[in-house]
Copies of this chain bind each other. A is one copy, B any other.
Amino acid sequence: MFSIRDYVDRNVSRNSTTSRVSTGSTTKRPTIKDVAAQAGVSISTVSLVINDKGYVSDQTRERVQEAARKLNFVPRPAARALPSKTTGNVGFVVRDDHFRRTEPFYTGVYLGTEFEANNRELYVLLTTIPTEYVPGKHTPRFLREQNVDGILVAGKVAPAFLAEASTSGVPVVLIDFEHDTLPAAVIDNRGGAHAATRHLIDRGHRHIALVGGDMDHPSLHARREGFQLACFEAGLSPDQVQFIVASEGESDYATGTVLAKRLFANGAVPTAAFCINDATALAVIDQAAGLGLKVPDDIAVVGFDDVPQAKHNQPALTTVRVQTDHLGELAMRYLVDLIEESRSRKVRPGRDPHRITLPTELVIRDTT
């Protein structure tokens, strides 16, 4: 390993002050006690007011609120956590390779959860886990320390992790993934795929291919179902529909390129392709261009996800928009619901978990 010292650049200008600046006021940060004194009430009352709990007369409430405002009082998270037996944190787990992906899908989801967490006065502890998850070894610290009130799991993860999370004692909500009976916030993959396929059919296409990598993921599986349903409804016969699908591997640009070659290698090329996601669609378009085929005249292409590149591509890609932020928000709200539910022990008798489904939107651009 290396030492930090190895990298210190001594050529930095030295005529400088330090970065640590005092907070200006010498008085230390106020506590609930200071607020109580200022308002002339007990700390119990202050606590009730800032938590909006119990019965407090309007008059004292206002007096407390004014005192808090005047002193610039902000409760310390740790001091609240200790007696209340809650942490004020939620965990956000995603596989590292997913998080690193070029398409900013999970960063969008994360930002949505962060936004909603801010509204709910929660901190989000973002942790990545490896694809090959080994329980004791890779267990997120917040699980070991039981330092969260709930857990969000984004995307596909190892079942071993889900088992661990499920037995942690706090609610778990999956995002864009499904597993057993765990509650989940998912995209309307089937509906989106159906709309996209329907759109191709409406444009007059009758020979259509589905192109995509491994369909093992529940979301991709649902997209295939939506595609099939639309084909069936339109009365297409099986020989009008092709499935260009890899038996393994991610549905990424590289896999898409391989599949596109297979697609165009066939004698009778379909007039339209529903691609399982944008990465695949972009690969198909590039391969088509390489062969001198015109999009959409020779082959129409529709994707799924509406990644940033979709809009900028030449030609701009018709696709299904997924509002990733919104998905994260939705999941966080759902999790908070479950957390509150589990606190008011009333609803113990195992309410069934739900899937919450986020609608999608077909965005018609230049490839169809």
Contact = CB atoms under 8 A, between A and B. Distances in A.
A87 B79 CA distance: 11
Given A82-B79, A99-B111, A168-B23, A12 B147 contact: no
26 contacts: A7-B330, A8-B355, A9-B354, A12-B354, A18-B181, A19-B171, A19-B183, A20-B169, A20-B170, A20-B171, A23-B167, A75-B145, A76-B145, A77-B81, A77-B145, A77-B147, A79-B82, A82-B82, A99-B104, A99-B107, A102-B102, A110-B126, A118-B141, A121-B141, A124-B125, A125-B125
B102 A356 contact: no
Interface in A107-132: 107-108, 110-111, 114, 118, 121, 123-128
A70 interface: no
A14 interface: yes
A144 B74 contact: yes
A217 to B, nearest CB: 18
A145 B72 CA distance: 11
Nearest to A147: B77
List the number of copies, as a whole number.
2
A128 B102 contact: no
A38 interface: no
Given A4-B337, A77-B81, A78-B87, 11 more contacts: A4-B356, A7-B359, A77-B145, A78-B78, A78-B147, A99-B104, A101-B104, A102-B307, A107-B107, A114-B126, A124-B125
A353 interface: yes
A357 to B, nearest CB: 5
A351 B307 CA distance: 46
A24 B169 CA distance: 9
A248 interface: no
The 8 closest A-B pairs by CB, nearest first: A16-B181, A78-B81, A18-B350, A78-B78, A9-B355, A7-B356, A9-B357, A14-B352
Interface residues of A, number: 85
Interface in A139-197: 141-142, 144-147, 166-172, 180-183
A19 B172 contact: yes
A240 interface: no
Nearest to A106: B107
Could you say which of A4, A103, A168 has the most chain B C-beta atoms within 10 Å of its C-beta?
A4
A165 B24 CA distance: 13
Contacts of A96: 111
A312 interface: yes
A209 to B, nearest CB: 24
A309 interface: yes
A353 B7 contact: no
Contacts of A141: 118, 121, 123
Contact of A19 (B12, B99, B100, B166): B166
Contacts of A18: 181, 350-353
A343 B20 CA distance: 12
Interface in A338-366: 342, 350-359
A102 B4 contact: no
A21 interface: yes
Contacts of A126: 110, 114, 124, 126
A308 interface: yes
B87 A21 contact: no
A59 interface: no
Contact of A181 (B19, B104, B334, B354): B19
